[in-house]
Amino acid sequence: MVNTTKISRMEDALVTHQQPIYPARCANACLGLIVFGIIGFAPVATNARVTQINISTPVNTPQAFGGQSFAAGKYQMINGTIRGEIDPKDPRNTVIVDIALAPRNARGKVEYSTDFQLLLPMNPSQGNHRLLYEITNRGNTNALTILNSAQTANTKTMAVDPGNGFLMNQSYAILESGWDITVGQSDPGFGVTVPVATQGGKPITGPALEEFDIDVTNNPPATQTLSYPAASADKSQASLSVRANFGDTPVTLDAATWDYTDATLTAIQLNPPGTKFGVAPAPGPSALYEFSYTAVKPMVATLGLAVIRDLAAISETRRPTTRAHPTRSRETCSTSILFALPSPAERCAISCTWVSMKWSVRRAPGTRAAAPRSRSTAYSTGRPAAAASI
């Protein structure tokens, strides 16, 4: 049983994180107010896209990394899910494939949900006001294992290995979230939920091609999951081919050699059931299978990039000066860094910097401070760093 708590000032409640905060819904809530207030980030406007943040960190959760101290002091871990929405008519969102066909809520917006984890100093004043936002790789994290030489990666439920403490000694906050539609929120990794596109309320079908690269000698798989369900169980509408090497001519297998695993039509298997992919008489252990079929229920996959955009944009804000606080720092988050391990996370980072989904940072109503320019930088380990002002 999870309690729902409404809090008028989420920023105050989360700064110390002394009490567990469970799913809390605030009208027009934004990430800057609810989560990033912990490290001094401020809300940009009341019409921010993040609509709900559910914090699922268990009661009496120990401090992150076993309570170890760093130059920035001890770190805390905050886990949960984030729900948001985007305007499908906004020109910055029209580049999202099939966004016009996505179902809309009562406000005419398209909704999404993602897992998240925030690691940051227990004492916000010890932070450097910089955020390392990692683009997870198939739902897995790599920032701590690569940058901190940690032996154990953090997951969406724990962070136990700080490695050499590099990022913590530099006082960074670290954000993880989902974006890849192949990872669901019920999976162990950081997942995302996006809507399924429809045409006039009816299912959309279309050709799909799956590649199964079998490159294992120990316990090869007996089933292969499809990215999308098949539209029909009629095997004449699908075909399976195999070849030993990429440059070889594919050999189409007889329809009797394969079947769908069950009535959901979401996976295939070889016959007789239990036959391993890549095992004789098929080429192996480096067999490459291709399965072509008519698929149904296409997800609005590019919405995963908008998730990253929205969370990163919210984090880069300035807290405007006021008469009550004339010396308040106008820039509370100077830089956010996108970190990605090559393929597919690197490709995602490059897409985030190249597509025309511009960061949306607006001036808060009633303030005199000019709207800040977003200064995100995307770093990957496989190619030269791609600077972004998007």
Euclidean distance between CA atoms 361 and 96, whole angstroms = 19
What residues contact residue 114 under an 8 Å CB cut-off, 6+ apart? 81, 82, 84, 177, 178, 179, 185, 190, 191, 192, 193, 307, 311
102-106, 139-143, 146-150, 328-332, range with the lowest pLDDT: 328-332
Of residues 211 and 9, the one with the higher pLDDT is 211
pLDDT above 90 for 360: no
pLDDT digits (tens, 9 = 90+) for 165-207: 999 999 999 999 999 998 999 999 999 999 999 998 899 999 9
Please tell me the predicted confidence (pLDDT) of residue 19: 30
How far is it, in rounded angstroms, from Cα 244 to Cα 56? 47
- Between residues 119 and 278, which one has the greater pLDDT? 119
Beta strands of 214-299 (E only): which ranges?
Answer: 223-225, 239-243, 251-252, 258-260, 267-270, 288-296
In the numeric block, the tokens 């770093």 are attached to 379
Top pLDDT among 173 and 45 is at 173
Would you state the pLDDT for residue 175? 94
* Average pLDDT value for the chain: 75
Q: Which residue in this structure is represented by tokens 């030489």?
A: 149
Q: Looking at 35-39, 58-62, 134-138, 239-243, which range is the least confident one?
A: 35-39
Give the pLDDT confidence score for residue 75 in this predicted structure.
Answer: 94
pLDDT above 90 coverage of the chain, percent: 46
Helix, coil or strand: residue 169: helix
pLDDT of res. 10: 26
Which residue pairs, CB below 8 angstroms and at least 24 apart, start in 28-33? 29/53, 30/314, 31/82, 31/310, 31/311, 31/314, 31/315, 32/314, 32/315, 32/317
Percent of the chain surpassing pLDDT 70: 66
Quote the pLDDT of residue 114: 96
User: Long-range pairs for 73-76 at CB < 8 Å and ≥24 separation?
Assistant: 73/121, 73/122, 73/123, 73/126, 74/121, 74/122, 75/119, 75/120, 75/121, 75/122, 75/159, 75/162, 75/168, 76/17, 76/119, 76/120, 76/121, 76/122
Identity of the amino acid at 1: M
pLDDT at 260 over 80: yes
Cβ neighbours around 9 below 10 Å, total: 11
24-33, 152-161, 232-241: least confidently modelled range: 24-33
- pLDDT band of 344, cuts 50, 70, 90: low
pLDDT of residue 235 exceeding 80: yes
pLDDT value at 274 more than 80? yes
Report which residue type is found at 238.
A
How long, in residues, is the chain? 390
pLDDT at 25: 29
What is d(CA 319, CA 304) in angstroms, rounded to the nearest whole number?
Answer: 28
Higher per-residue pLDDT: 71 or 315: 71
- What interhelical angle do 303-315 and 345-354 show, nearest 10? 70
Strands 130-135 and 173-177: parallel
Whole-number Å distance between alpha carbons of 112 and 280: 44
Residues 286-334 have pLDDT tens digits of: 789 999 999 999 999 989 988 988 888 776 655 554 555 544 444 455 5
Mean pLDDT of 25-46: 35
The model's pLDDT over 75-110, given as tens digits with 9 standing for 90+, comes to: 999 999 999 999 999 888 888 989 999 999 999 999
Is the model's pLDDT at 336 over the cut of 90? no
Using the structure block, give the residue that is written with the tokens 């100077």: 334
The more confident residue out of 347 and 212 is 212
